[in-house]
A and B are shown apart, each in its own frame.
Chain A
Amino acid sequence: MKRLVHRLGWPGTIALAIILLFVLVAILAPWIAPYPTQGAGAPNVAAKLSQPSANYWLGTDHLGRDILSRIIYGTRISLTNGVLIVAFSLLIGLPVGLAAGYFGGWVDEALMRGTDVFLAFPALLLAVLMAAALGPGFLNSIIAVAVTWWPWYARLARAEVLVLRGQPYVEAARLAGVSHQRIIIRHILPATGRPLTVQAALDVGPALLTAAALSFLGLGVLPPTADWGQMVDAGRKFFPARWWYSAMPGMTIFIIALAFSVLGDALRERKGGPARDAA
């Protein structure tokens, strides 16, 4: 614990704790939600749009469902969204970057100009275009965001490989006639993987934020599944009179994105050993 605080500083440690708490909430959703059936989507019209109270800590939505329970269930969608977007992006970006960096020459040129095309789009717009083409839905929205996300990993991986390629042991392996495939998997991938994994873990925050924007636009999961972005959008019709409907899920998105952002900052800052405070 002490070592963790030393490595991340207090803000970073708290941010990490918040993220872990969200993961826990996602796993335990059915057991900790005050109204599990409402969290899963069952309406409760008698109590519609009631303000925060002892019964409904964060109020209820237009179908009378407990917002806290909806948010707790929404954690599952949001976190899987974030993780899957990053995973899919790595799945495309990593091989592209590895190939471009390792083989160089025209392979590099072709692959990198290709990623340039994807990077030429303003990211959310391409995601919106993709999501529109694929239609709304959980998996589709993830693919839509991943399409705009992978080029960054391709670039990152390529930059790492360019450094590694010149290393004596890689050179030696190549001269010894080890196959390209084996060199990449044995020597290059493990060394590239580490920095990339850290980056990818931190990107879950922004990825989840983008996914929330898509579902705010009605391109995410379909109701009655609970989803934060979609809740903010649904609450807009009742805003600001029934402010809690939009504000509570909005706050939740902000908190988890902030936690990822603070953690990322803490990791970057502490990279070169403990930072010395200026006197």
Chain B
Amino acid sequence: MTLLDVRNLSVSIPTPEGDVHAVRSVDLSIERGEIHGVIGESGCGKTMTGMAMLGLVPQGARIAADRFHFDGEDLSENASRLRGRRIGLISQDPAAALNPVLSIARQMDDVLSAHRDMPRQTRHAEAAALLAATGLPDPEKVLKSYPHQLSGGMQQRVVIAQALATGADFLIADEPTTALDVSVGAQVLALLRRLVSERGLTVLMITHDMDVIAEACDRATVLYAGRSVETGPVDDVLRRPGHPYTRALLAALPDAGPHGARLAAIEGSIPPPRIAIAGCAFAPRCPQAMLVCAAEPPPMRARATHRWLCHLPEDAA
């Protein structure tokens, strides 16, 4: 069943130098109980897409969409009401996401008292239980601590526990492992997977790292220059990528290709977010670009539930 249904979402931020098109046209369809990865280079609009779902876009920003539904409710009207009730955020840098001058107990309690009607003692026990559920060994000790006394991995677990404390069933995880060591990051991903299966959560995983997609996600959507260019089951997207950009991303992975091969960085850079784009945004960097690519918006290609936008015929992929 589709929990999140987004069609043609755009977010633009007016500035004196003209509008910044942070998100141009994003389609997302997320099923209940899955971990859905959203991948792209920095500046592709993946974080802003997540923030739009939370209603936390910068002041003055305009959100438009053909469809922007969460569990049947229109997010363009209800985002701030659903935020923290049904939709939670696990942010990039746990050290920055926790308030440095308040104890963990106080920060957990604030969340619980905002969402759950329970007496103080129960809240304390619940906070400890939630911390334990995220795999923290000594919850009572963690509750007494301040953020700077915890390691990055522990901080991220606290942030996840806070998100669970809201009772949200849909979590937006914005690069949850970027600030962590690789091994700690893997543990956090494993934790998220466990929580999804144990608690029936749904997760939108924002990342720039194909490994994270491969390791933790069920399905994935690739963003380029504020547009969703490819979406499908992770196996399909990784093994038989449709869009040349996805192929370029995969080729850029260090362990791709024959041993000793040069790391294939993608030539060029993403188009600046202020200009309008007529055709395929990737055309200037695309090794297979044709004349039509820069002029006309690419059509949708599909292989079962695997879909992408490209002028190249399907079998060329």
Q: Do chains A and B make direct contact within the complex (CB under 8 angstroms)?
A: yes
- Minimum CB distance partner of B16 in chain A: A276
- In the complex, B59 has a CB within 8 A of chain A: yes
In the bound complex, CA of A276 to CA of B15 (Å): 9
Least CB separation from B13: chain A residue: A279
A278 interfacial contact with B, CB 8 Å: yes
Interface size class, chain B: under 10
A279 to B14, CA, bound (A): 9
Inter-subunit contact A279/B16 (CB<8 Å): no
Complex Cα gap A276–B14 (Å) = 11
- Contact bitstring A259-279, B, C-beta under 8 A = 1, else 0: 000000000000000001011
Is B18's beta carbon under 8 Å from chain A? no
Interface residues of A in 148-174 (CB under 8 A from B): none
Inter-chain CA distance A154–B15, complex, in Å, is: 41
**Counting CB contacts under 8 A, is B60 at the interface?**
yes
Residue of B nearest to A276 (CB): B16
Residues of A with C-beta under 8 A to B14:
279
B214 to chain A: closest CB distance in Å?
Answer: 41
Partner among B15, B16, B59 whose Cβ is within 8 Å of the Cβ of A278: B59
Closest B residue by C-beta to A274: B16
Query: What are 7 A-B interface contacts by the 8 Å CB criterion?
Result: A276-B15, A276-B16, A278-B59, A278-B60, A279-B14, A279-B59, A279-B60
* A278 to B58 Cα, complex, angstroms: 10
Partner-A contacts on B (CB < 8 A): 14-16, 59-60
Interface of A is mostly: loop
CA distance A2 to B209 in the complex (A): 51
Q: How far is the CA of A252 from the CA of B16 in the complex (A)?
A: 40
Interface size on A, residues (CB 8 A): 3
Closest chain A CB from B134 CB (angstroms): 37
Task: Give the complex CA separation of A279 and B59 in angstroms.
Answer: 7
Q: Which 5 A-B pairs have the closest CB atoms?
A: A279-B60, A279-B59, A278-B59, A276-B16, A279-B14
Contacting residues, chain A, for B60 (C-beta < 8 A): 278-279
Q: How far is the CA of A37 from the CA of B14 in the complex (A)?
A: 62
Give chain B residues whose Cβ lies under 8 Å from the Cβ of A279: 14, 59-60
- The residues of B that contact A278 with a CB separation of less than 8 Å are 59-60
Chain A stretch 230-279: residues in CB contact (< 8 A) with chain B: 276, 278-279
Q: Which of A81-126 contact B (CB under 8 A)?
A: none
- Expressed in whole angstroms, the minimum distance between the Cβ of A107 and any Cβ of chain B is 36
Q: Which residues of A contact B15 (CB under 8 A)?
A: 276
B73 to chain A, nearest CB (A): 26
How far apart sit A11 and B14, CA to CA, in the bound complex (Å)?
A: 27
Nearest CB to that of A278 among chain B residues? Answer: B59
Task: Report the Cα distance A50→B83, complex, angstroms.
Answer: 70
Give the complex CA separation of A105 and B14 in angstroms: 51
Please name all residues of chain B whose beta carbon is closer than 8 Å to the beta carbon of A276 when the two chains form the complex: 15-16
Query: Which partner residue on chain A sits nearest B58 by CB separation?
Result: A279
A276 to B16, CA, bound (A): 8
Nearest-CB distance from B253 to chain A (Å)?
A: 39
Return B78 CB to nearest CB of chain A, in Å.
22
Q: Please report the C-alpha to C-alpha distance between residue A152 and residue B14 in the assembled complex, in whole angstroms.
A: 42
Complex: how many Å from CA A278 to CA B60? 8
Contacts of B16 in A (CB 8 A): 276
Residues of A within 8 A of B59 (CB): 278-279
Nearest A-chain residue to B61, judged by Cβ = A279
Least distance between A162 CB and chain B CB atoms (Å):
27
Task: Indicate with 1 or 0, residue by residue over A125-141, a CB within 8 angstroms of chain B CB atoms.
Answer: 00000000000000000
Cα distance, A121 to B288, chains bound together (Å) = 75
State the Cβ distance, A6 to closest chain B Cβ, in Å. 13
State A231–B15 Cα separation when bound (angstroms). Answer: 52
A23 to B291, CA, bound (A): 69
Q: A97 → chain B, closest Cβ, in Å?
A: 33
A235 to B60, CA, bound (A): 54
Min CB–CB distance B111 → chain A (angstroms): 28
Task: Report the separation of the CA atoms of residues A231 and B16 in the bound assembly, to the nearest whole angstrom.
Answer: 51
Alpha-carbon separation in the docked complex, A278 to B16 (Å): 12
Shortest Cβ distance from residue A277 to the other chain B in the assembled complex, whole angstroms: 10
Complex: chain A residue closest to B15, CB-CB? A276
Shortest beta-carbon distance from A126 to chain B in Å: 35
Task: Report the minimal beta-carbon distance from B13 to chain A, rounded to whole angstroms.
Answer: 10
* Nearest-Cβ distance from residue A42 to partner chain B, whole angstroms: 59
Q: Distance (Å) between the CB of A276 and the closest chain B CB?
A: 7
* Complex-state Cα separation, A279 to B58, whole angstroms: 10
**Nearest-Cβ distance from residue B288 to partner chain A, whole angstroms:** 42
Residue of B whose beta carbon sits closest to that of A279: B60
- Residue of A with least CB distance to B60: A279
Shortest CB distance B20–A (Å): 13
Tell me the complex Cα distance, A276–B17, Å.
Answer: 11
Which residue on chain A has the smallest CB distance to residue B14?
Answer: A279
Q: In the complex, what's the smallest C-beta–C-beta distance from B28 to chain A, in angstroms?
A: 27
Complex Cα spacing A278 to B14, Å: 11
